[in-house]
Amino acid sequence: MAYSYPVPENESERLEALTSYNILDTQPEDDFEELALLASEICQTPIALITLIDDTRQWFKAKVGVDIGMSETPREHAFCSHTIINIDDVMVVNDARVDARFANNPLVVNDPSVVFYAGVPLVTADGFPLGSLCVIDHKPKELTEKQLQSLRILAKQVLTQMELRKKLAALQLTNEVLLEANTFIQKFATTAAHDIKNPLSSILLTQQALQLRLTSEKDVKSLRLVDLSISSSKKLLTLIDEMLGYSTAPALLLSNQGCLQLNQLLKSVLGLLEIPHTINVNLPQQENTLVCSSVALEQIFLNLITNAVRYNDKQAGVIDISFTEEGNHYVFTVTDNGRGIAEKNLEKIFQKDVTLNVIDRFNKKGNGLGLYTVKALIEKLGGSIKAESKVGAGTSFIFTIKKNTSSAIDTAAA
């Protein structure tokens, strides 16, 4: 036999509010069990329940005097389905056997033989009834005004415990995010030296050449070398300052984003590297304006271009950098005509501390941190990266970064 039950006018919002507590189907908790026990003692009833009503059922968060295996009932059988309609006071049924709403209810006719019922709705600050604190007896009964008032107070305590539980869960989530961010900072800092090695090598080579020239007569070429050394030093200092800023406040990686010119950024990156004259780097044909974290994008390109240089074994090396936009993402491709990577290793190269034991053109091995860091940075920016390669023919790294439309709007407004 089907039973009808009333439904609150704001049912969809009520269910959404209930879901936000993430409490349904959780394990018993002492704080709630003790409040149910106290309600049973104060009202002198064998049964007390803390119930929550979702779209199909009445679920018991705490229970006293009910079979341990009984955790829920269908919503159409629940007295509490009626309790949550009137959120202003206690619903009292002195004798359900003579109440037209409940006389034939299976919970009355069968176990647990409900006769007396009193329930207080659990109402949020926004006015959403989530369930009830109720007491039940197997015989007709009346509660005194003091008992009813005590029941109201206990119901408020139940909701307070639910709010505390919700806030604690939010705090734990925040702590997990902070822990993850701190771990990311450590990884980022660990690989910083790896990323700075190449511009430092360029500066060192320039300074060594300058030292040799300064032993002889000064000329225009020497002055050009001095200018190059100073320029590289300034760029490196700026990069270090940006990295330190992000290491102390990692949220800036996502929040502190602004308009940048892609080709201008790429030229700045190339200025930090020692590109052999046998390798030609081709930038996108036209300038593109992006809204992105410049320091993150610099780090990504420093790694990818450096790898493209280190592992290029061709007499005429080529590195092509292209850019497109797809929906809510920027799409970048860095392609080289170098040694290539075996298909079985295309996923491995992004793992921490994984190296392929390959000697680069400078007779050095990698440390397995560069591409791992690149992947972490890209994922922080809402994107992804993959590699496509053919041994002997070259490699393409394709990565995406999510567009920051809010930043673009803010920048345009300014």
Q: 133-159 pLDDT, tens per residue? A: 999 999 999 999 999 999 999 999 999
* CB proximity list for 160: less than 8 A, separation 6 or greater: none
pLDDT at 411: 42
* Long-range CB contacts for residues 234-238, cutoff 8 Å, separation at least 24: 235/199, 235/268, 235/271, 235/272, 236/196, 236/199, 236/200, 236/203, 236/272
pLDDT at 119: 96
Single out the residue in 155, 175, 195 at which a domain terminates: 175
Same domain, 278 and 400: yes
pLDDT at 199: 65
Single out the residue in 175, 193, 221 at which a domain terminates: 175
Domain presence at residue 218: no
Counting DSSP H helices and E strands in the chain, the numbers are 12, 13
If you average pLDDT over residues 5-30, what whole number do you get? 92
Same domain, 285 and 407: yes
Same domain, 157 and 20: yes
- pLDDT tens per residue, range 235-280: 665 666 665 555 555 555 555 567 889 999 999 888 878 788 899 9
pLDDT at 159: 94
Domain presence at residue 348: yes
Domain presence at residue 56: yes
Say if residue 44's pLDDT is above 90.
yes
Peptide bond into 199 cis (omega under 30): no
Q: How many domains does the chain have?
A: 2
Q: In this prediction, what percent of the chain has a pLDDT beyond 90?
A: 50
If you average pLDDT over residues 317-342, what whole number do you get? 94
Domain presence at residue 22: yes
Domain presence at residue 352: yes
Say if residue 360's pLDDT is above 90.
no
Domain presence at residue 316: yes
pLDDT at 413: 37
Q: Can you tell me the distance from the alpha carbon of 155 to that of 328, in angstroms, rounded to the nearest whole number?
A: 47
Domain presence at residue 245: no
Least confident of 36-50, 235-249, 316-330: 235-249
Q: Can you tell me the distance from the alpha carbon of 246 to that of 297, in angstroms, rounded to the nearest whole number?
A: 13
Domain presence at residue 403: yes
CATH number reported for the structural domain that contains residue 357 in this entry: 3.30.565.10
Tokens of 173: 């989530």
pLDDT at 50: 97
Same domain, 265 and 375: yes
Say if residue 42's pLDDT is above 90.
yes
Q: How many CB atoms lie within 10 A of CB 86?
A: 12
Residues 65/47, Cβ–Cβ less than 8 Å: yes
Residues 200/274, Cβ–Cβ less than 8 Å: no
Same domain, 79 and 169: yes
Pick the residue with more confidence: 197 or 381? 381
Residues 399/332, Cβ–Cβ less than 8 Å: yes
Banded pLDDT at 410 (limits 50, 70, 90): very low
Domain that residue 62 falls in: 11-175
> Which is nearest to 95 in space by CA: 123, 109, 116, 76?
116
pLDDT at 414: 40
Banded pLDDT at 214 (limits 50, 70, 90): low
Residues 203/228, Cβ–Cβ less than 8 Å: no
Q: Can you tell me the distance from the alpha carbon of 47 to that of 36, in angstroms, rounded to the nearest whole number?
A: 9
Same domain, 171 and 270: no
Strand locations in 68-157 (E): 72-74, 91-93, 116-123, 129-137
Q: How many CA atoms lie within 13 A of 178 on its CB side?
A: 7
Q: Can you tell me the distance from the alpha carbon of 282 to that of 302, in angstroms, rounded to the nearest whole number?
A: 15
pLDDT at 58: 95
pLDDT at 333: 96
Same domain, 62 and 167: yes
Single out the residue in 175, 192, 215 at which a domain terminates: 175
